[in-house]
Amino acid sequence: MSMNERFIGIPGGRWQLNTPSLLLDLDAFERNVTVMAGQVQKSGLALRPHAKAHKSVAVAQRQIGAGAIGICCATLGEAEVLDAAGIPGLLVTSPVVTPAMIARLASMPGEVMVVAEDGGNVTALEQAFAAAGRRLPLLVEVDVGQRRTGVASPQQAVDLARRIAASAHLEYRGIQAYWGHLQQVPDFAERRRVVQRQAEIVRAVTAALREAGLPPAIVTGGGTGTALIDAELGLFTELQPGSYLFMDSSYGRAALWPGGASPFETSLFVRANVVSVNRAEHAVINAGLKSFATDSGLPFAARGAPAGTTYKFMGDEHGALVYAEASNARLALGDGVECVVSHCDPTVNLYDFLHCVRGDRLVEIWRIDARGR
Amino acid sequence: MSMNERFIGIPGGRWQLNTPSLLLDLDAFERNVTVMAGQVQKSGLALRPHAKAHKSVAVAQRQIGAGAIGICCATLGEAEVLDAAGIPGLLVTSPVVTPAMIARLASMPGEVMVVAEDGGNVTALEQAFAAAGRRLPLLVEVDVGQRRTGVASPQQAVDLARRIAASAHLEYRGIQAYWGHLQQVPDFAERRRVVQRQAEIVRAVTAALREAGLPPAIVTGGGTGTALIDAELGLFTELQPGSYLFMDSSYGRAALWPGGASPFETSLFVRANVVSVNRAEHAVINAGLKSFATDSGLPFAARGAPAGTTYKFMGDEHGALVYAEASNARLALGDGVECVVSHCDPTVNLYDFLHCVRGDRLVEIWRIDARGR
């Protein structure tokens, strides 16, 4: 249980929270859920949003409630947690390879779809599901330029799809094609250009599969940064964005969006308190390397700090809010500040709870159920 | 419960673990505990090691078992968890400032010592402990050059100590002086020089307190990087190192240690599995931005990978092990690798369990009880 339960519903409860705490602005979050669902629906595609951003049953339920056909999971641990909560349409978007993890997959109560890219792995999956007396739906993972996972050619895709289709306990369902490396190409027109170029791989793989009598029923991929573009390609049957829920500062950069304005709002904040004001040049807050992911740059104080203040890491549990030179405004001991994070997925993974706020109220606390899994 | 419980005690259980998992080499860990305890004892000081590195009751119990007088905590959450488990001699090394957190401190079952640096904060603590009918032991936090927390002059230290000593429900116990910014000055002789220079602040503060009739019974500080030097200053009564237990690659750099050899061994590893071998230049493992802290550089594969292999982040859940150009050795799908991390504290904070191994056996699983708190 969160130590902030007792602040739920109290006027001004938001300002009294124990910190560092992860906040979710529910109004902005709900608009993000609705806007993405509407955009994808308008394009005639299905939405299977990615749980790697939120790892939370409560969030997945709201995505399903807004029309999503299922939820993507980056790990087996995420899928186990969501499956146990009755979330339908789960897809594990990375290969499940080792004996221990294949055994977990074969013993999961619900039906979960996974991706594969290796013939030996397909054989191991067939054996495990034969032993369990069950069937496993599979997608062929296609490398569309990220050089991370996936088959490297249309011929390899056909060979693997054939092997899956010929396996008694596997069901060939289609392909996954995810361009993670293109999600944040800064300029929208340039991003569209490189996506269209990489889409030729998907087109060639799809054509080869059709020709081999193995047309993909599912073509899944896409992310927050490319969703608008992915939807116009005529290749995907469904999209799997995740970060649109929260909009970290990496995805929030205006240049990323056509016309310079994101259709999504920042809904995720780290709330912290000032714990030292003994230095003229900065105040120190109780949020450091253990409160923010550090791979994509610095957080910034969006609320509660004087304009122009910048954040500086000061160790595992502390950060400095450095005042702008021209500013005379100063923070006081105990003041609360709320920071926008630079990368939402690994930041959410640092916390056990999302503190859902509307205005000055804490209205609910959602568990980040699959944190660390 | 860890999903790896069933591998405890099984020959070869280590190689079958679900991954990514945090491993603790128990033999190396136990030697580290013993070596630090012996070094500090030999110098005539007390040891109050820092839980911010491990956040684990099981580890704290072993440190106490080896003679530690107590345990330092960076956060109230760590102190609550260790206090509930009966760990004695807790010291919270950062100011406790907000009403919510002061209320938690005043309602903790055991006696916990904290630091303070602000007169208003001292008044708030006195009021809370008066209301609770309890007494709170306090240290004056002294800034020794890090510019993070602490009073900035001997006079401020005396003023605050006097205020604490005059408070009916507070007990003045001494000072804390921690030079976190000096822990990893690369050259040992240079590190000794700058520590000796900053130690003049501690000397001046201590002298001023003595002169004011407020001699500090406790002078606490020091870390893994400076402990050997701190012990020879004749200023401290106790030391509070943490990372010596695990020895990440930052602390493991040979230049840090006199004679070029650390007295401590790396005991902490992230175990991962190869999930893709479809590229000639690298293999992909299932450990990325959510499995390693990224603030202090890259992890490296210490076991299981060909010599010369380097790690590259490939997203939240993946990393590439890039083969050396001259190497023909290749990893196979499913292979296990074990990586040394660049910064242990925030890496440990990503996991719920320490998997304790000896040779090929998983012998115990310890909970990282205060993770995220």
Q: Which residue in A99, A100, A349 is closest to B290 by CB distance?
A: A349
pLDDT grade for B258, boundaries at 50, 70 and 90: confident
Kindly state the average pLDDT of the residues B290-302: 97
In whole numbers, what is the pLDDT of chain B averaged over residues? 97
Q: Which of residues 162-221 of B touch A (CB under 8 A)?
A: 180
Give yes or no for B278 touching A (CB within 8 A). Answer: yes
| DSSP H or E run through B137 | strand B136-142
Q: Is the dihedral of CA A154, A156, A162, A168 positive or negative?
A: negative
Q: Which residue in B95, B286, B350 is closest to A275 by CB distance?
A: B95
Kindly state the average pLDDT of the residues B15-37: 98
Kindly state the average pLDDT of the residues B167-171: 98
pLDDT digits (tens, 9 = 90+) for B354-365: 999 999 999 999
Interchain contact, B94 vs A275, CB within 8 Å: yes
Mutation target vs A (from B278, B279, B322, B335; most A CBs, 10 A cutoff): B278
Query: Which residues of chain B are within 8 Å of residue A277 when distances are taken between CB atoms?
Result: 118
Query: Which residues of chain B are within 8 Å of residue A276 when distances are taken between CB atoms?
Result: 95, 117-118, 148-150
For residue B289, give the chain A residue with the closest CA: A346
Q: Which of B352, B365, B351, B357 is closest to B336 using CA atoms?
A: B357
What is the per-residue pLDDT for B322?
Answer: 98
What is the per-residue pLDDT for B57?
Answer: 98
Mutation target vs A (from B317, B348, B351, B352; most A CBs, 10 A cutoff): B317
Q: What are the structure tokens assigned to A215, written together?
A: 């047309």
Q: Which residue in B118, B275, B350 is closest to A95 by CB distance?
A: B275
Count the Cβ atoms, other than its own, within 10 Å of residue B194: 16
For residue B20, give the chain A residue with the closest CA: A373
**CA separation for the pair B63, B31 (Å, rounded):** 12
For residue A291, give the chain B residue with the closest CA: B372
Give yes or no for A161 touching B (CB within 8 A). Answer: no
Give yes or no for A146 touching B (CB within 8 A). Answer: yes
At A10 the three-state DSSP class reads coil
pLDDT at B253 exceeding the cut of 90: no
Please give the C-alpha separations between residue B85 and each of A21, A228, B109, B370, in angstroms, as whole numbers.
24, 52, 11, 11
For residue A298, give the chain B residue with the closest CA: B295
Please give, rounded to a whole number of angstroms, the shortest distance from the CA of B97 to a CA of chain A: 6
Backbone angles phi, psi at A48, to 5 degrees: -130, 80
Q: Which of residues 301-320 of B touch A (CB under 8 A)?
A: 313-318, 320
Interchain contact, A275 vs B149, CB within 8 Å: yes
Q: For the complex shown, is ipTM > 0.90?
A: yes
pLDDT digits (tens, 9 = 90+) for B202-251: 999 999 999 999 999 999 999 999 999 999 999 999 999 999 999 999 99
Q: Which of residues 253-272 of A touch B (CB under 8 A)?
A: none
Q: Which of residues 71-100 of A touch B (CB under 8 A)?
A: 74-75, 77, 94-95, 97-100
**CA separation for the pair B104, B110 (Å, rounded):** 12
Count the Cβ atoms, other than its own, within 10 Å of residue A86: 12
Q: Which residue in B273, B314, B352 is closest to A98 by CB distance?
A: B273
Give yes or no for A40 touching B (CB within 8 A). Answer: no
Q: Which residue in B273, B290, B345 is closest to A316 by CB distance?
A: B345
Give yes or no for A248 touching B (CB within 8 A). Answer: no
For residue A279, give the chain B residue with the closest CA: B147
Interchain contact, A372 vs B349, CB within 8 Å: no
How many Cβ pairs closer than 8 A exist between chain A and B?
A: 165
**CA separation for the pair B203, B225 (Å, rounded):** 20
% pLDDT > 90, chain B: 96
pLDDT grade for B152, boundaries at 50, 70 and 90: very high
Give yes or no for A101 touching B (CB within 8 A). Answer: yes
CB contact at 8 A, B19 and A98: yes
What is the per-residue pLDDT for B2?
Answer: 86
% pLDDT > 70, chain B: 100
Interchain contact, B316 vs A346, CB within 8 Å: yes
CB contact at 8 A, A335 and A273: yes
pLDDT digits (tens, 9 = 90+) for A333-367: 999 999 999 999 999 999 999 999 999 999 999 99
Give yes or no for B298 touching A (CB within 8 A). Answer: no
DSSP string, B71-134: EEESSHHHHHHHHHTT--SEEE-S---SHHHHHHHHT-SS-EEEEE--HHHHHHHHHHHHHHT-
Interchain contact, A349 vs B121, CB within 8 Å: no
Give yes or no for B109 touching A (CB within 8 A). Answer: no
Q: Which residue in B19, B282, B295 is closest to A294 by CB distance?
A: B295
What is the per-residue pLDDT for B75?
Answer: 98
Q: Identity (one letter) of the amino acid at A4? A: N
What is the per-residue pLDDT for B260?
Answer: 85
Kindly state the average pLDDT of the residues B40-49: 96
What is the per-residue pLDDT for B259?
Answer: 86
What is the per-residue pLDDT for A1?
Answer: 78
Q: Which residue in A117, A274, A371 is closest to B278 by CB distance?
A: A117
Interchain contact, B17 vs A147, CB within 8 Å: no
For residue B320, give the chain A residue with the closest CA: A148
| DSSP H or E run through A249 | helix A249-252
Interchain contact, B52 vs A317, CB within 8 Å: yes
For residue B296, give the chain A residue with the closest CA: A294
Interchain contact, B97 vs A334, CB within 8 Å: yes
What burial letters (b/e) apply to B336-371, b meaning 16+ CB within 10 Å?
Answer: bbbbbbbbbbbbbbbbbbbbbbeeebbeebbbbbbb
CA atoms within 13 A on the CB side of B46: 14
Mutation target vs B (from A21, A317, A352, A373; most B CBs, 10 A cutoff): A317
Whole-prediction pTM: 0.97
Digit-by-digit pLDDT tens for chain A (373 residues) are 789 999 999 999 999 999 999 999 999 999 999 999 999 999 999 999 999 999 999 999 999 999 999 999 999 999 999 999 999 999 999 999 999 999 999 999 999 999 999 999 999 999 999 999 999 999 999 999 999 999 999 999 999 999 999 999 999 999 999 999 999 999 999 999 999 999 999 999 999 999 999 999 999 999 999 999 999 999 999 999 999 999 999 998 888 888 888 999 999 999 999 999 999 999 999 999 999 999 999 999 999 999 999 999 999 999 999 999 999 999 999 999 999 999 999 999 999 999 999 999 999 999 999 999 9
Residue in the block written with tokens 């054509």: A207
